[in-house]
Amino acid sequence: MKPIHLIPISNGTAASAAPGIELLEQLAPALARTFRTPCRIKLQNIDVTAAHDERRRQYHSTAILQQMERLVDPDARVLAVTGCDLYVPVLTFVFGEAQLQGNCALVSTARLKEQFYGLPERPDLLKERLIKEAAHELGHTFGLRHCPDWRCVMASSHAVERLDVKTAEFCNNCRKPLIHNGYW
């Protein structure tokens, strides 16, 4: 059973500055509870400059994951949290990406913030969305694919509205690989 390491990514432009350490300090115990494994913040430098697309003003998430895979502790499940807006070439944006059955996952807080949609800041909502998105991407590292149950955290969500209606929990079906890996 691997522990979870949270890595804040501090690179990027000023507008997409690193997520605050307080936010990660709230995320860590939530993930430790969900996955029933130790979760701690680890400060490590992940250089995302090469993943930057100047025309799109976004960062290619797959390139960051590849970079992470080379650098991080292979005996941990690693989730990087960035303020940079992420994309994959076929989509206008992604909230995050993970290596299916791998060790590395990545989430962005950029579009989880109400300010992104021109609304007043809601720290409670940001935290809730980040916990769901983080659990979702980590779920992919256990080999989980998207779930048809809209309440399940593995339900696909390409809009914050969808993120807000689902729960932070894995349904009984999606829980199976977690049990199999000794997490439950």
Antiparallel, parallel or unpaired: β 52-53 and 39-41: unpaired
Antiparallel, parallel or unpaired: β 39-41 and 77-82: unpaired
Q: Which is nearer to Zn ion, 78 or 147 (CB)?
A: 147
Question: In sequence order, what are the beta bridge partners of 158?
Answer: none
Which three-class secondary structure state does DSSP give residue 5? strand
Q: Which is nearer to Zn ion, 2 or 166 (CB)?
A: 166
Residue 101 is given by DSSP the state: T
Which of 25, 137, 161, 169 is an active site residue? 137
Binding residues for Zn ion (CB under 5 A): 147, 149, 152, 154, 171, 174
Q: How far apart are the C-alpha atoms of 79 and 9, rounded to whole Å?
A: 10
Nearest-approach distance from CB 178 to Zn ion, in angstroms: 11
State yes or no: is 137 an active-site residue. yes
Residue 116 is given by DSSP the state: G
Nearest-approach distance from CB 138 to Zn ion, in angstroms: 11
Nearest-approach distance from CB 84 to Zn ion, in angstroms: 18
Q: Which is nearer to Zn ion, 27 or 154 (CB)?
A: 154
Catalytic residues: 137
